[in-house]
Every structure is written in C-alpha cells, then in structure tokens.
A = this chain, B = another copy of it.
C-alpha cells in the first residue's frame, strides 16, 4: 500500500457551495467526522471513485448528493491544489469547484443534512478551516466576485421567480457593497437573461414586477 500511495496520489474534490442567507453571502461547511482533522470545519469534499464517477465534476455532484442531499445544476471548476504536504495521508490532489444554491433552498440543506453542516458568513469568517480550505474558499469567492463584477448575473442564487430588488440584494451580498439602484436597473434592461412575467408582488412602496431567468442563461 505504501508503494501505491507513492505512485498514485489521493484525488479528491472540494466544493465551495455559496448561497445568500439574510442578505449575506454564505458558504456551506461540514464538520469532519473522520481523521485527519476530525471535528474541524471544512468545505464539503470527497475522494474520486473511478468506478462510480464519469468525471471529477461527477465526483463533486455525488459528494454534494451524499453529504447534503442536494442535486445542483451549476458547478464551476476553480483550481487544483496539489502536493506532498497538504494532506497527512500523502501526495494529494484536490480539485476545487464552486456551486451556487438558490436562496430559498438553504433551509432544506440544513434539514436534509446527513453530517453536521453550517452556513458561514464569507465576509467575516470566524473559523479556521481544515487543510488548505481557507485558501480555497478565498479563491472561490474571488472568482465568483470577478464574474459578478464583470456584469454576469448570479441568477443561480435566486428563486425561480424573483423581483429586481431581490436580484440587486444578491449582487450586493456577493460584491460586499451597495449598488446605485437606478444604474443597476439600467444595466438589467440590457440583459437578455431575465424575462418579465405578468405577476406582481407587494413591494415596499408599490407592487413589484416578478421576473424569471431565461432558460440556459449564461453564467
């Protein structure tokens, strides 16, 4: 076995699963139930099983289904972390993905939980994470922010039907600062990714129109 471990690295995936809770960007953490780093909080992750998985993305989907009982459409690869020292079990590779969960699904994740899970604030994180997961999380946030800063709408984080105020709050939660409402609305007008519906919901002052995402919107 030692010989195999020297020849073949341990291959796993880690997932930074983001959502928005109480208008703040959060990431899902799992408390490690096994050594190494038992009891530490970590990004959900798991080992590649070549006989089960058709790709590393499939590994990530399987891990999320196993650990938090959710099936997600959107996964984005961020970077690989590799080397002899990042895991005490030996030379290892972790492929980091980020994923986005609609904000109306965050309670279900905690309800369905199989292991101890928690939504952690990403702006002021209070926990040191296991392995190199603090670094991984930082890079995943950076990639997500860069995409949203480049005017891509994070529609994966919204419920099926949403108002423009909800959308603005999600964008603000990711960027970490408030946006000017009228220039944000102007930006949205040129987007082909959101579609008006006939519905209206009661708003702060007047009824707010309800929108939905175009199928196959770009992200």
Binding site for B on A (CB under 8 A): 4, 6-9, 11, 48, 50-51, 54-57, 77, 79-80, 82-84, 90-91, 93, 95
Interface of A is mostly: mixed
Contact of A11 (CB < 8 Å), options: B9, B51, B79: B9
How long is the Cα–Cα vector from A16 to B55 in the complex, in angstroms?
22
A4-B4, A77-B79 known; A54-B11 Cβ under 8 A: no
| Chain B, Cβ-Cβ closest to A7 | B50
Nearest B residue to A59, CB-CB:
B82
**Nearest residue in B to A81 (C-beta to C-beta)?**
B55
Complex-state Cα separation, A170 to B48, whole angstroms: 41
Give min CB distance, A57 to chain B, whole Å.
Answer: 8
CA distance A8 to B48 in the complex (A): 9
Q: Specify which chain B residues have a CB less than 8 angstroms from the CB of A80 in the assembled complex.
A: 56, 77, 80, 95
Q: Which of B4, B82, B83 contacts A8 (CB 8 A)?
A: B4
Given contacts A55-B82, A77-B80, A80-B56, contact A50 B91 (CB under 8 A): yes
